Amino acid sequence: MHPGEGDDQGCWQQWRTDRDREEQRRIAQQRRDRKVRNKLSRVVAVLDELLSPGQQQPRCLGDVADFYQVSQYRLSTVLEKHREEFSQDGWRPHNRDHDGQDLWTDRAVVRAGLLLEKSAVAAHLRHLLGVGDIPLVYSQGEARLAECRQLYNKALTVVADIHGESSPDELWRAMQGADRYDLMAMVMTLAALTPYDRPSLGQWLREISGLTTKDGSIARGLALLIPQRQAVDVRKLKEPGSARSNRLRADGEGAVCQ
């Protein structure tokens, strides 16, 4: 053995060892990910949360691509890469009952949502299953700016109603009919309009609470405006993983693409 050959061979063996370990970790992670998908794909009731009223369950590749708002090519790529998993879910390449198109079971549709990237619908599905966040999309297009101007005007109306002659009861009941997004947008708008660095920020709340007690305070002022939480105030908020608590419904094995 020539000088230096032993060191070179040792480095080569170390490189192969590191590479093999990395490959083993990658394979182990793939197995764990697949195990998670196998479990979550059974929660087919999550599809009911995503389908629009009157929308049919997607049953062929074109339907599933439209459902997730992706191209058929992207969906086909995912399908081919994980073909064995989809086959275990009941996916069939040909359905003799309807022009030879493929057949997607509910479990296969859910699995597609777990695998698809850059799909807002798929991201929402993963959020409901507790394995992802809903993406936040911002825009400064003309249509969006018009919506924000309307939101600003609504916020000013709320401020005027609170400080004016309107009853807090009337305003509260009006907000009970608002959807969650509108309420969150209103909170963000009002917070943005609040001059939080002013020392007299809560002065008005102290003043109105001082009408009923000697010890006026911000907390007492808010207590006069905001009623206590009731059982009916619970919103239909879809927490991360909320769909996993739903009972599993039967998969539509026999449905065909219409």
Residue range 48-86, pLDDT digits in tens: 999 988 888 999 999 999 999 999 999 999 999 999 999
Helices (H), 164-240: 168-176, 180-193, 203-209, 218-225
User: Do 129 and 246 fall within a single domain?
Assistant: yes
Residue type, 62: G
123 assigned to some structural domain:
yes
Using an 8 Å Cβ cutoff, are 71 and 65 in contact? yes
User: Do 129 and 252 fall within a single domain?
Assistant: yes
HSE-CB of 108 using CA atoms within 13 angstroms: 31
Which residues constitute the domain of residue 225?
142-233
User: Do 62 and 22 fall within a single domain?
Assistant: yes
User: Do 146 and 227 fall within a single domain?
Assistant: yes
Residue type, 84: E
60 assigned to some structural domain:
yes
Number of domains in the chain: 2
User: Do 80 and 152 fall within a single domain?
Assistant: no
User: Do 69 and 195 fall within a single domain?
Assistant: no
How many residues are given for the chain?
258
Residue bearing tokens 């058929």: 72
Residue type, 6: G
Tokens of 195: 């001059």
252 assigned to some structural domain:
yes
User: Do 148 and 187 fall within a single domain?
Assistant: yes
Q: Is the pLDDT of residue 211 over 80?
A: no
User: Do 91 and 22 fall within a single domain?
Assistant: yes
The region, left, alpha or beta by phi > 0 then psi within -120 to 50, assigned to residue 98 is beta
181 assigned to some structural domain:
yes
Q: Is residue 220 very low, low, confident or very high in pLDDT (cuts 50, 70, 90)?
A: confident
Taking the whole predicted model, whether its pTM rises above 0.75 is answered as: no
